[in-house]
A = this chain, B = another copy of it.
Amino acid sequence: MRVKEVAERLGVTADTVRFYTRIRLLNPNTNPHNQYKEYSHADVERLKFVVAARSLGFTVEDISTIIAKAEDHQSPCPTVRQIIEKRLEETERQFQDLIALRARMSAAIAQWEDTPDRVPNGHMICHMIESFAGGFSDDTEK
C-alpha cells in the first residue's frame, strides 16, 4: 500500500503518515526506483497504535519511547502509566487556562457591546482593548 491508502484506512492525512515516516516512527520499504514508500501490514498495525496513542494525548516522542521499550522486549506499561499521568496534568492546566481565556474574551465582548467605535489618537490604539479591565497598569505613568 502507498501512503494515501494507508492514511485513509486510518482516518488521518497522507501528510501525517509521511511525517511519522520521516521521523522513523514508521519504517516502510522504499522502492529504489522512485522512492515511493510501500507500507506493509505491520506498518499499518503500528500506525494504528500511533493513532490510538495520539488520541490519548501521548506526544510522538512519548510514542517513540514506548515503542522502543517494547522492541527491547521490556514492558512499556509502567512508562505508559507514568506519562499519561503527566500529560493529564498538563491537559488540566491547559484546560484551566482556556477557561480563563474564554471568560476574559466573553467579558470583553459583552463590555464592548455598549461601547462605540472610536478613532485612535496619539495616546491610544484601541480604547476597547485598553479600557478592558485587566489591570495592566505600567505603575510609572507620571
Does A128 lie at the interface of the complex (its beta carbon under 8 Å from any beta carbon of B)? yes
Interchain nearest-CB distance for A81 vs B (Å): 7
The 8 Å CB contact of A10, one of B67, B102, B136, is B136
Name A55's closest neighbour in chain B (CB-CB): B134
Give the size of the chain A interface in residues (CB under 8 angstroms): 59
Give complex CA distance A99, B92 in Å: 9
Does A4 lie at the interface of the complex (its beta carbon under 8 Å from any beta carbon of B)? no
- Known contacts A70-B126, A77-B128; decide if A109 and B134 are in contact (CB<8 Å): no
- Say yes or no: A98 contacts B94, CB within 8 Å: yes
Give complex CA distance A81, B118 in Å: 12
Does A108 lie at the interface of the complex (its beta carbon under 8 Å from any beta carbon of B)? yes
- Known contacts A101-B91, A139-B9; decide if A75 and B120 are in contact (CB<8 Å): yes
Does A140 lie at the interface of the complex (its beta carbon under 8 Å from any beta carbon of B)? yes
- Say yes or no: A76 contacts B138, CB within 8 Å: no
Which residues from chain A sit less than 8 Å from chain B, CB to CB?
Answer: 9-10, 44-46, 48-49, 51-53, 55-58, 66-67, 70, 73-78, 80-81, 84-85, 87-88, 91-92, 94-95, 98-99, 101-102, 104-106, 108-109, 112, 117-120, 123, 125-126, 128-130, 132, 134, 136, 138-140
